[in-house]
């Protein structure tokens, strides 16, 4: 066999050989190698070193274990279903099967509440003389808009004019929001 097909082995084929999920001759056939070509290349040292290095990498990452567990789970799922559907199956066995399959499918978790998942900021301003302003803002709201609303509602209506050193800031925020 000439060396060119051996040198052109696709990296994906090396990955599939290293995964150990199928017989090597089947993988080689999927990539267009005949049984004779595969017989000549299966002992080719650079190929074996590449496969072993990839296998070590996959094991270190835990990929081989997860892939095999997923494959086994899928293979056994039909048996689990048939046992749960058996007329002699207990209610608890059926319920556990439903819980397991729902969890595996990812449909057992209710959707996250969007409003409660965002960041929350709380600002409290002490104005002195027992006066203060508290502002709570979630990530969906604009902080400046809330601050302006607080200035307008609390200072301008209930507490009188803001202190001189803060009046310009409140006015600037108000102008940004309303112009």
| CA distance to 48, 73, 79, 82, per residue, from 89 (Å) | 49, 20, 13, 10
pLDDT of residue 145: 61
| CA distance to 39, 49, 57, 131, 165, per residue, from 18 (Å) | 17, 10, 9, 71, 71
For helices 63-85 and 11-19, the axis angle rounded to 10 degrees is 60
pLDDT in 10s for each residue of the chain, 179 residues: 444 455 678 889 999 999 888 899 999 999 998 888 888 888 888 889 999 999 999 989 888 888 878 888 888 888 888 888 888 988 888 888 888 888 877 776 666 655 455 567 777 777 777 777 776 766 555 555 655 565 555 544 555 555 565 555 555 555 555 55
- Is the CB of residue 130 less than 8 Å from the CB of residue 159? no
pTM of the model: 0.42
**DSSP type of residue 157:** I
pLDDT of residue 1: 44
Q: If residue 134 lies in a helix (H) or strand (E), which one and from where to where?
A: strand 131-138
Domain boundaries, the chain: 3-61, 71-105, 141-179
pLDDT of residue 46: 86
pLDDT of residue 65: 84
Q: Please provide residue 131's backbone torsions phi and psi, each rounded to the nearest 5 degrees.
A: -100, 140
**Residue whose token pair is 């998942």:** 117
């Amino acid at each position: 066999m000439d060396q060119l097909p051996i040198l052109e082995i696709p990296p994906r084929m090396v990955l599939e050989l290293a995964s150990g999920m199928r017989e090597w001759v089947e993988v080689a056939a999927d990539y267009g190698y005949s049984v004779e070509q595969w017989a000549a290349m299966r002992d080719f040292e650079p190929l074996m070193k590449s496969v072993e290095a990839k296998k070590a990498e996959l094991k270190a990452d835990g990929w081989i274990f997860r892939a095999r567990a997923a494959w086994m789970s899928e293979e056994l799922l039909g048996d689990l279903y048939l046992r749960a559907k058996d007329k002699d199956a207990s209610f608890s066995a059926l319920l556990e099967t439903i819980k397991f399959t729902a969890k595996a499918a990812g449909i057992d978790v209710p959707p996250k509440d969007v409003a409660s998942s965002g960041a929350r900021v709380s600002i409290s301003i002490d104005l002195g003389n027992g006066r203060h302003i508290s502002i709570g803002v979630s990530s969906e709201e604009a902080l400046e808009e809330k601050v302006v609303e607080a200035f307008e509602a609390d200072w301008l209506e209930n507490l009188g004019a803001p202190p001189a050193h803060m009046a310009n800031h409140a006015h600037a925020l108000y102008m940004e929001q309303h112009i």
